[in-house]
Amino acid sequence: MSEKTSTKLFNYFIFFGMLVCVLIASIINIRNNPSETALQIVVAFGAMFGVTSTILAAQGNIMNFVVGLLGAVIETYVLWKNGVTSMFLLYLFYFIPMDFVGFFQWRKRDASVHKAVKAQRMDGRKWLYVALGYVAVAAVAFGISYFAGQHSLGSGVPAKLVMDALTTAAYVMAIIMMTFAYMEQWYIWTLVNLSSIVLWAVNLATTPESTYTVVMLIKYVFYLLNGLNAIRIWLRLSRKEEVLEN
């Protein structure tokens, strides 16, 4: 089996596997909570937009920003309904605008519907910037969530807020790396997906009545699988550019 065929089959597995899981979860949730039928349908569409976007991003296809924008708008609403403060603000003021920025940056790197983006690699200095940016953003995100939730300084630090802040910071740095087509973005996305799985699992355990949390949890499991495959693809894309440059 050729690499092109195996990649196509894997993409079908991710897409249709996600579709089946979303449909099953949606039907169960609608039966249990018919009053939230409209919301559940919206969340299901958002999940499919999101997973389609990640599949396209893994292939270096510029259309991931177009499809991702639709998913980001829906997820912004879901985060607001779920009370995940810093992630909601991230999507509203950062993730959605960066879809536009990323689209035009990839155009500059010769990306199109039929041509993969020219991937590049990071050096030690750029990794240092990423690490410093991560710490700064995590601190700001935690502060916003903590004080927006009106937590008492003597009540301890809620684990959910810490996880939310760390995930938010990883999102910010990964989006910057994705915008400039750095291969190493997929290492960060792996951490993002793992932490998001933990975040939504905790949310499901603490608020089991939340009908759309299951869909969000399933979505990030498929994101994780797709991201691991993307590491392999982008390693090849970045090596190809290194050969052309040399």
pLDDT for 149? 64
Question: Which one, of 140, 136, 138, 67, lies nearest residue 102 by Cα?
Answer: 67
Which two three-digit tokens encode residue 3?
Answer: 């690499």
Residue 208's pLDDT is 67
Identify whether the C-beta of residue 166 lies closer than 8 Å to the C-beta of residue 188: no
User: Quick check: 79 and 87 in contact, CB under 8 A?
Assistant: yes
Task: Work out whether the CA dihedral 186, 218, 24, 95 comes out positive or negative.
Answer: negative
- Give the pTM: 0.82
Residue 119 pLDDT: 93
CB atoms within 10 A of CB 69: 19
Mean pLDDT by 10 residues, the chain (246 residues): 84 91 82 82 87 93 95 88 73 90 94 91 94 93 74 59 82 92 95 84 76 76 91 89 56
41, 71 in Cβ contact below 8 A? no
Closest C-alpha to 134, from 88, 184, 67: 184
